[in-house]
Structure 1
């Protein structure tokens, strides 16, 4: 993931983001997330979001990891299909790690989904994990579930 070319700058190690947005593009990119992103920029808040040019791979790219680590606040936007994306779950795992190691502030948003569905992995989240368990190792899936449980328990 790379930061948008406009006011967000780039995700280089010299950048410092105030906010990192984690979201499932097909659910919220062109509506809620876009409005939130522009409102943050208009308020002068240096915000990271991907620019739809994500190169698919198994691991989070270094720029994405740097953006998460350098952000003071992370905002995961949980939506119906968030848990179906390994990218979203990997981002959330890194966000959860930063929350616990550096005290990063995490402000979850529950977009047309109940917090309990995220926290308890029910509904579409349960279905996503049924698929993930056939494709990914036990440890990875458990890390994703733990991150969802913990971050899903935060007041949104």
Structure 2
């Protein structure tokens, strides 16, 4: 019975991993390499420039992708920290 419970939880996620990052300083370096490695190993991964759909607001789509993800990887960088400083002011 526990295995059916676990499988229903596993099936409720669209993505295995959501990668959170900000800016070009990591997009084509560490985040790009991480994304490709996860993908090559069969891990369904959300990365904004790979999964964003035209015509949808970024906020709603990112929120939905976060809800649809089982695990999260946050890649901190100088641009990521500056973004939060500006937002939190």
Match of 2:7 in 1: none
Task: Report the equivalent of 1:51.
Answer: 49
Structure number with higher strand proportion: 2
Q: Partner residue of 2:38? A: 40
Match of 2:61 in 1: 63
* Number of residue pairs aligned between Structure 1 and Structure 2: 75
> Unaligned 5+ residue runs, structure 2?
1-11
Matches within 5 A, 1:22-41: 22-41=20-39
Summarize the Cα distance change of 1:15–1:63 in structure 2 as closer, same or farther, 3 Å threshold.
Answer: farther
Do residues 74 (structure 1) and 77 (structure 2) align?
Answer: no
- The alignment partner of 1:19 has SS state of strand
Segments of structure 1 that go 5 or more residues without pairing to the other structure are: 1-13, 90-128, 143-156
Q: 1:54 to 1:23 in 2, by over 3 A?
A: farther
Q: CA RMSD of the aligned region, Å?
A: 2.8
TM-score, structure 2 normalization: 0.69
Moved over 6 A (4+): 52-55
